[in-house]
């Protein structure tokens, strides 16, 4: 793959994203990039095509050979790019999920909803090929290429374009810095933690009106809410007073909303909430590597009574995050995944033993200014790519049959963007909107009162 010929074997994580895919539940990340200005469609098409050639995994298909699987460059990689008019640019775009069969087609598709002043680029990325940071890098590369084709006459310089090294894809399965043995968990501790994980029965988020709908049956899977700058500033003052981060407060509000929703919805046989949090395992060894999937997961586990404890919950969240990072638990999970996959039918057995994978997912995307870094000029906190401005970037990870709710949180131009996807077979769209709206109201009240214990006033 490094020389665009030699195949690469799938890493355990990449194989997991294929094995865990189910009919009607594509393992696909959905993105919506809002653009201001009159997008030159052909220049964007050219920029996407050029950028795809720099990211080999997005131009590859999966070939199975016995129990092994490999990335092979597609014989004739095609750009899947659809353009359609967008007559209602003041309304949210419609973003369904899509199935991508990596044994037959490459892992990225695009659609441009176009109007002369505002457009939205919708992207679908198979999670086996790429993670959230990889998507950010891909998009930044694309808009840098677009800016070179459509330069802004008022700009003094063009966005900087990266020089990628395809050989570094060999390192995408290296999830520990060399010589980092001090942070490795002892084998017996790994086994004890694995057994404890399999024994936990977590709360399942279940609405009151389950349906037979699948994720692919829903017209729009991205429910988005924006939290304005004034509210974000108020939240930052609260986090500073508690020696916490915005991520901690989002988790705090998310847990309280999940607890309330589960209490008033279908009966639950458990009081244990297990939140799945993606974490990047990139190190400097991965710099200048084309887009790939270099993540793992942390599990935040809380009891219902802890969630009702107010400020004590925030301290618990903070301590939990620090402990998991210091013990490098993300790498430990991947080591366990490697062992399970090495045993015939081991992965299938682990799924049978642990059907309640997680109560919900919370993905911290972080400050999207990192996505553009020092490569782009900015106006009012938003990146300028030639003759267009990138107004907002929304995105959401896939839901699974055993995880019914996913929320992502990103910061851009001083605003927080919250995105939610629900499993329609378990949580209706009406209920999903109630959850995200309640989260926003709670965050607004905390910011307005500058009090973590603020309650929402209806």
Q: Is the pLDDT assigned to residue 354 strictly greater than 60?
A: no
Q: Rounded to whole angstroms, how far apart are CA atoms 111 and 32?
A: 9
pTM: 0.91
**What per-residue string of b and e applies to 399-427 under the rule 16 or more CB within 10 Å gives b?**
bbbbbbbbbbbbbbbbbbbbbbbbbbbbb
Are 440 and 418 within 8 A, CB to CB? yes
Q: Which CATH architecture has domain 8-172+185-449?
A: 2-Layer Sandwich (3.30)
At residue 225, the pLDDT reads 97
User: Tokens for 342?
Assistant: 């090495």
- Residue 319, burial from CB neighbour count under 10 angstroms (0-12, 13-18, 19+): exposed
CA distance between the termini of the chain: 57
Q: How many CA atoms lie within 13 A of 245 on its CB side?
A: 13
- 69 vs 270, higher pLDDT: 69
Give which of 371, 363, 426, 362 is closest to 393, Cα–Cα: 371
pLDDT in tens, 193-252: 666 666 677 888 888 877 889 999 999 999 999 999 999 999 999 999 998 899 999 999
- Residue 210, burial from CB neighbour count under 10 angstroms (0-12, 13-18, 19+): middle
Residue 269 pLDDT grade (very low, low, confident, very high; cuts 50, 70, 90):
low
User: Tokens for 7?
Assistant: 């195949």
Q: Is the pLDDT assigned to residue 458 strictly greater than 50?
A: no
**What does the domain layout of the chain look like in residue ranges?**
8-172+185-449
Are 31 and 111 within 8 A, CB to CB? no
pLDDT in tens, 303-347: 999 998 877 899 899 888 777 666 666 666 776 677 666 666 656
């Amino acid at each position: 793959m490094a020389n665009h010929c030699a195949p690469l074997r799938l890493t355990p994580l990449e194989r997991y994203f294929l094995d865990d895919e189910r009919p009607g539940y594509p393992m696909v990340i959905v993105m919506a990039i809002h653009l201001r200005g009159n997008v030159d469609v052909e220049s964007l098409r050219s920029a996407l095509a050029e950028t795809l050639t720099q990211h080999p995994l997005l131009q590859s298909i999966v070939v199975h050979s016995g129990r092994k699987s490999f990335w092979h460059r597609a014989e004739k990689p095609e750009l899947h790019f659809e353009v359609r008019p967008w007559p209602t640019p003041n309304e949210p775009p419609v973003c369904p999920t899509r199935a991508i069969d990596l044994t037959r087609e490459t892992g990225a598709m695009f659609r441009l909803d176009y109007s002369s002043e505002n457009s939205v680029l919708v992207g679908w990325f198979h999670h086996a090929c790429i993670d959230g940071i990889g998507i950010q890098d891909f998009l930044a590369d694309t808009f840098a290429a677009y800016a070179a084709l459509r330069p802004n006459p008022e700009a003094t310089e063009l966005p900087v374009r990266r020089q990628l090294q395809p050989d570094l894809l060999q390192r995408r399965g290296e999830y520990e810095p060399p010589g980092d043995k001090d942070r490795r968990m002892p084998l017996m501790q790994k086994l004890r933690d694995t057994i404890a994980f399999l024994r936990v029965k977590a709360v399942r988020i279940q609405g009151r009106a389950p349906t037979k709908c699948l994720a692919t049956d829903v017209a729009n899977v991205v429910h988005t809410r924006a939290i304005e700058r004034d509210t974000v500033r108020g939240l930052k003052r609260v986090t500073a007073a508690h020696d916490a981060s915005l991520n901690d407060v989002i988790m705090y509000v998310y847990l309280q909303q999940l607890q309330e929703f589960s209490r008033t919805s279908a009966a639950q046989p458990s009081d244990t909430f297990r939140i799945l949090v993606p974490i990047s395992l990139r190190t400097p060894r991965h710099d200048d590597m084309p887009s790939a999937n270099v993540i793992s997961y942390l599990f935040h586990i809380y009891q219902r009574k802890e969630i009702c404890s107010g400020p004590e919950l925030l301290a618990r969240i903070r301590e939990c995050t620090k402990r998991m990072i210091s013990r490098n638990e993300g790498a430990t999970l991947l080591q366990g995944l490697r062992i399970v996959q090495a045993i015939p039918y081991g992965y299938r057995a682990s799924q049978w033993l642990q059907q309640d994978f997680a109560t919900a997912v919370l993905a911290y995307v972080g400050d999207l200014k990192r996505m553009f870094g020092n490569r782009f000029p900015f106006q009012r906190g938003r990146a300028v790519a030639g003759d267009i401005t990138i107004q907002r970037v929304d995105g959401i990870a896939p839901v699974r049959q055993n995880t019914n709710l996913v929320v992502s949180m990103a910061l851009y131009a001083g605003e927080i963007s919250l995105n939610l996807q629900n499993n329609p077979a378990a949580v209706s769209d009406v209920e999903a909107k109630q959850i995200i709206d309640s989260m926003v109201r709670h965050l607004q009240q905390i910011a307005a009162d500058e009090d973590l214990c603020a309650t929402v006033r209806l």
